Structure 1
Amino acid sequence: MHHGGFRPTGLDDESWIGKVFLYRPDEAVPLDESGEKMLPLAQFYLPGLPFCSPLLSDTRVLTLFMSRTFPEQFEEMGRNWLIREYGSHERLERREEPVPVPSLKPFPLRAELVGADFPLWDGGVPPELEEEVLRLERAGEIESYYDIISHTYEHKIGGYPSFCQSGVDPGEGFEFVFQLSSDSKVGLNVVGNGSLMLWKHEGTGEWVLYYDFY
């Protein structure tokens, strides 16, 4: 997903980074555990995307909020970060809620379908594929795994997480859903040019947040 070079449509069926404007009538910007308003990080209108996780098949709009101080990795959702999911049957209001200052610079997002996104070498390569790559390297047929794969490091829904350090496994039943990467135009810096990565459990619907950085 990218931004810049095009104007916002002003319609509700648009995805944004650094902005949330769709709420249920009884909702406002959530508060963190210190009682401060969280930052609106992103709003995704899922029917307008070329790809979406099957775990979001019943979700029309997804919004993400986070405390100005990053939560702990794998911290339970609710205290310092929050995802809201809305189905097609829910009535949403368009509102410009006051948010903390300074905040992020908002941009509308435009999605493009990426035909192939592979896991990073130290971030989830299946053992059988790892063995085959090592065999090809020993045989001199390739110099590196990265000669034969591509990986998208930007904001994305689907694909594989962009770990900066050794990859992690959030546990059985969790599927990687989306990430937001550090973005200087937006003013988003994940500690040290890292990425926020989010998984959802296929059975319970629980969300997990992890991030790392250089």
Structure 2
Amino acid sequence: MDETQIKLTLAKKATEFVSGGFKPTNSISESWIGRVYLYHENEEIPLDNDSELMLPLFQLCLNQLPFVPKILEETKIITVFISKKFPMDLTPNGNNWVLREYKSVDNVVVKDLKNDTSFIKPFPLSNRLIEEDYPVWEDPEIPDDISDKINELEDSGIIDSYYDIIQNNYSHKIGGYPTYCQSGIDFGEDFEFVFQIASDQKANLNIVDSGNIYLAKNRKTQQWVFYCDFY
């Protein structure tokens, strides 16, 4: 197995998001950072564990994306809210963060709801296809035979490190791999990484210390978990 075969084995598709740079349409198919305006009629911005209004963090509309993971093939919209007190450990949905998943747009309405204390600057998100997304070296998802081969290539002097072969995408993205800042984590049995929210200077979002948020979904129970790490 050579470098090309390693890349082919590990590569996954993803959709990357970039903040701003175009005039928003405020449509039901537009994704945002720092703003959520799609709700069911009876929904508002949720409260955190201290009964304080959460921050609208991410609105993800899947209909027109170039790539969507199979686990979300029936999902139309995802919205994410977070407490100012970021969870620091692997945390289930509803514990100082809330993810809402909509399988239909039929009962979704537009609401101009804001948290005036939010420090996150709202921007619409453009997107592009990532044909090849790769894990960080510390990702536990790298198969043992692949990591053994990479170590062999290093020991033989063919490469200096894993990062001679691949580059990571440190961005907002759906699909692909989590781009861990530290060593990776096991989300739990039947959980699959789904999307990443990155620190975003333009949106004034600093996740503790230039970190990322990773959201994973259980293939059997449909439950979601949150994890973040940072430098």
Normalised by the length of structure 2, the TM-score is 0.89
Out of 199, 204, 223, the residue aligned to residue 206 of structure 1 is 223
- Structure 2 residue identity aligned to 1:76: P
Question: Counterparts of 1:17-28 in structure 2 under 5 Å?
Answer: 17-28=33-44
Out of 205, 210, 213, the residue aligned to residue 196 of structure 1 is 213
Measure the CA separation in 2 of the matches of 1:110 and 1:72: 29
- Structure 1 residue identity aligned to 2:204: G
Question: Which sections of structure 1, spanning at least 5 residues, go unmatched?
Answer: none
Q: Per the alignment, do residues 96 and 89 of structure 1 end up closer, same or farther by CA in structure 2, a change over 3 Å counting?
A: closer
Measure the CA separation in 1 of the matches of 2:193 and 2:79: 16
Could you tell me which residue of structure 2 aligns to residue 138 of structure 1?
155
Measure the CA separation in 2 of the matches of 1:98 and 1:153: 28
Q: CA deviation at 1:187?
A: 1.1
- 1:111-152 Cα offsets, whole Å, 9 max, x none, are 111011111001132111101111111222111111111211
Q: Is the 8 A contact 1:182 1:193 kept in 2?
A: yes
Could you tell me which residue of structure 1 aligns to residue 130 of structure 2?
114
Measure the CA separation in 1 of the matches of 2:81 and 2:130: 26
- Structure 2 residue identity aligned to 1:171: G
Measure the CA separation in 2 of the matches of 1:7 and 1:129: 44
Q: Is the 8 A contact 2:19 2:202 kept in 1?
A: no
Q: Is the 8 A contact 1:32 1:81 kept in 2?
A: yes
Question: Which sections of structure 2, spanning at least 5 residues, go unmatched?
Answer: 1-16
% identical aligned pairs: 46
- 1:152-203 Cα offsets, whole Å, 9 max, x none, are 1100001111111111111221110001111111111111110000110100
SS at match of 1:110: strand
Please identify, of 100-109 and 11-20, the stretch whose mean Cα deviation from structure 2 is larger. 100-109
Measure the CA separation in 1 of the matches of 2:23 and 2:105: 29
Measure the CA separation in 1 of the matches of 2:219 and 2:83: 26
Q: CA deviation at 1:57?
A: 1.3
- Structure 2 residue identity aligned to 1:12: I
Provide the aligned length of Structure 1 versus Structure 2: 214
SS at match of 1:112: strand
More strand by share: 2
